[in-house]
Structure formats: structure tokens, C-alpha cells
Amino acid sequence: MRAALIVNGKAGRLSALAEPDRALEPALAEAGFEFAAKPDADLPLDEQWERALASSADVIFVAGGDGTLRDGAARLLSDGRIFAPLPGGTMNRVCQRLGLPPDPIEAARAYRPGATIGFDVATANGEIFLYQSVVGTPTRLIRFREMQRGNGLSGWWQLFKAALRMLMRPAQHLLHIRIGPRRIIRGHAAVVTLPISTSEGGLLLSLAQSRGIFARLRQAVRWFRGRLAVDPNVAAREGTRLAIHSASPFLRLSLDGEARILASPVRFRLHRGALRVLAPPDAG
């Protein structure tokens, strides 16, 4: 199977490697892949993609954080070639769902040429995401985190102070969520998560209904641990389609950790098996 490799060398785990493309290339070759285009992590991502899409590659490996993988999935959804994600960021939620090892070199060695699977994706006003979207005030922290990235402990301290300031403010911008033709619920921050690949369920909506600073702090901790839906002040619902409305003409949200501003209402859709993905180790 002929392959190409896209590498975001600035991503968390990959930035620790002197030449991430030179480390990943032999690992993929050992796994049985032949390169149709020479990888070069020193090139901007757009130029790497131009080379990869102009090549005869059957499968395109993308190494980076969840945002880099989201961008790669959006490109390959229309191109039709096989998508193969490699963990390179801090959270790596998409790769975790595929059962890949957290180390990018080990993950590269785990793949084998051959079988593919249909991977679920979701869209928000037509923009793709692979794992989760957060809507409302908490997304300001995502933008702040991006601004502080690379500043070490100083950046984390600034992020912590920004989080405290956000928690101290009264909740604003009430959201109205419509699920199906009749159901409407209200809250101040929403998290929309794709179902796991083995589930037949729909998009999971967790809607925070604020009850003061301590409730918001508890919700923040549970969201970070992936357990927001169990909070007593969070309404959990499920559906393949939902729309989030706000009094404001625009809504601030994140798509797989990347900040966006989209026109209200934001309409979420689940697209089952829409992305062709190289079969992960436990699905080979």
C-alpha cells in the first residue's frame, strides 16, 4: 500500500522529537507501507498536503493533535483516500478512540496495510469534527490556551488565572437547544460529543445549567475527566441532529479543541461511517 505522511512538528508530543518525519518514516516502512511522496515536516502543512494529494498515495498518515487530524479528515472526506491518524498532540482523543498507542512511533508500527473502516464524523454548520464540540463561555479558555502555548509554566499559570476569572463571573448567554421537532432545553454551556465507534447512539449533548461558582468548578473538573454527563446540574440528551440557538447572532465554540465563531443557530449533524479510515490494530 502506497502512503504519504503529513506531520505537524509543532504539536505537543512531536515537538519533543528533533526530526519527527525521520522517526515516523522508518516505523511505517517496517509496518509494510511504501512511500509515494517523501515526507518533510519542515514544510508548512498546506505544502505538505499539496505534495501528498498530488502523489499516488492510497493512504495518508496525519501526525498531530486533534485539530490537525480534524483538518486532515476534512480534506480527505472530499478526496476519498484513506485517512490514518497518528497521535502527536496533548490529548489525542481521536487516536484514543481508535485504540492506538499514545506514542506516535508505536502507533505507526501498529498499523498494517489492508482493511479500512467507516468512521463517524459530525458537522457544525457544515464544519467537520471528529470528537467533540464545546459551545459557550468555556471556549474562551481554548482561545486563551492557544495564545499561551509554548510559554511553559508561565503560560499554564496565566491559563489558571483566566479560568478562575471566568468561573467567578455570572453565567451569561443562555443557550436554547432544539433536539428533534419538539424538545427544547436551556443552559449556559454545551458539550456535543460523537458516539464511540462501537455504539449505535447519536450525538451526546451535555448541557450545563449553572448553579453558582462551585457548580461550575465541579463541572469544569468533570468535563476535563470526560465525566460531565454525570453532574447533577447537567442535562444529558442524545440525537443525530440538534440545533443550538443564542440571543447573539454568533456563537463561540470549539471543534476538536480549535476555536470557531459560527452564525446562530449552530446545527449539528451526525454522519455515520462517512470517513474512510485505515483499520486500527484492534479492528484489523
The enclosing domain of 13 has a CATH number of 3.40.50.10330
Residues 106 and 141 in one domain: no
Residues 183 and 239 in one domain: yes
In sequence order, what are the residues at sequence separation of 6 or more whose Cβ sits closer than 8 angstroms to the Cβ of residue 161?
A: none
How far apart CA 240 and CA 123 sit, in angstroms, is 11
How is residue 228 annotated by DSSP? G
Residues 211 and 249 in one domain: yes
pLDDT at 262 > cutoff 90: yes
Q: 131 falls in which pLDDT band (50, 70, 90)?
A: very high
pLDDT at 144 > cutoff 60: no
- For 135, the grid coordinates are 459551545
pLDDT of residue 20: 92
Helix (H, G, I), strand (E, B) or coil at 54: helix
pLDDT of residue 130: 96
Q: Is 121 contained in some domain?
A: no
Helix (H, G, I), strand (E, B) or coil at 259: strand
Q: Considering 114, 140, 163, which residue would you say is the last residue of a domain?
A: 114
How is residue 125 annotated by DSSP? T
Q: Is 225 contained in some domain?
A: yes
pLDDT of residue 226: 59
Q: Mean pLDDT, to the nearest integer, of 21-39?
A: 94
Q: Considering 114, 144, 162, which residue would you say is the last residue of a domain?
A: 114
User: Please, what's the largest Cα pairwise distance for the chain?
Assistant: 56
Q: Is 177 contained in some domain?
A: yes
Q: Is 149 contained in some domain?
A: yes
- Of the listed ranges 60-69, 132-141, 143-152, 199-208, the least confidently predicted one is 143-152
pLDDT of residue 55: 96
Q: 269 falls in which pLDDT band (50, 70, 90)?
A: very high
pLDDT of residue 53: 96
Q: Is 235 contained in some domain?
A: yes
Residues 265 and 164 in one domain: yes
How far apart CA 13 and CA 119 sit, in angstroms, is 24
Between 278 and 167, the more confident residue is 278
The whole-angstrom distance between residue 140's C-alpha and the CA centroid of its chain comes to 17
Task: State the amino acid at position 65 in one-letter form.
Answer: G
Residues 83 and 165 in one domain: no
Q: Is 281 contained in some domain?
A: no
Q: Mean pLDDT, to the nearest integer, of 63-80?
A: 93
- Of the listed ranges 19-23, 85-89, 122-126, 163-167, the least confidently predicted one is 163-167
Residues 92 and 160 in one domain: no
Residues 59 and 157 in one domain: no
Residues 177 and 224 in one domain: yes
Q: Is 60 contained in some domain?
A: yes
Domain count, the chain: 2
Q: For residue 246, what is the enclosing H or E element?
A: strand 241-246
- The values of phi and psi at residue 213, to 5°, are -60, -40
Between 218 and 39, the more confident residue is 39
Residues 53 and 168 in one domain: no
Q: Considering 114, 147, 177, which residue would you say is the last residue of a domain?
A: 114
Q: Mean pLDDT, to the nearest integer, of 186-196?
A: 88
CATH code, 260: 2.60.200.40
Q: Mean pLDDT, to the nearest integer, of 33-51?
A: 95
Q: How many CB atoms are closer than 10 A to CB 236? A: 13
Q: Mean pLDDT, to the nearest integer, of 104-131?
A: 95
Helix (H, G, I), strand (E, B) or coil at 147: helix
Alpha helices in the chain (DSSP H): 20-30, 45-54, 66-79, 93-97, 104-110, 139-148, 152-168, 213-224
Q: 14 falls in which pLDDT band (50, 70, 90)?
A: confident
pLDDT of residue 184: 77
How far apart CA 148 and CA 175 sit, in angstroms, is 28
Q: Is 119 contained in some domain?
A: no
Q: Note down the domain range covering 28.
A: 2-114
Task: State the amino acid at position 66 in one-letter form.
Answer: D
Residues 194 and 95 in one domain: no
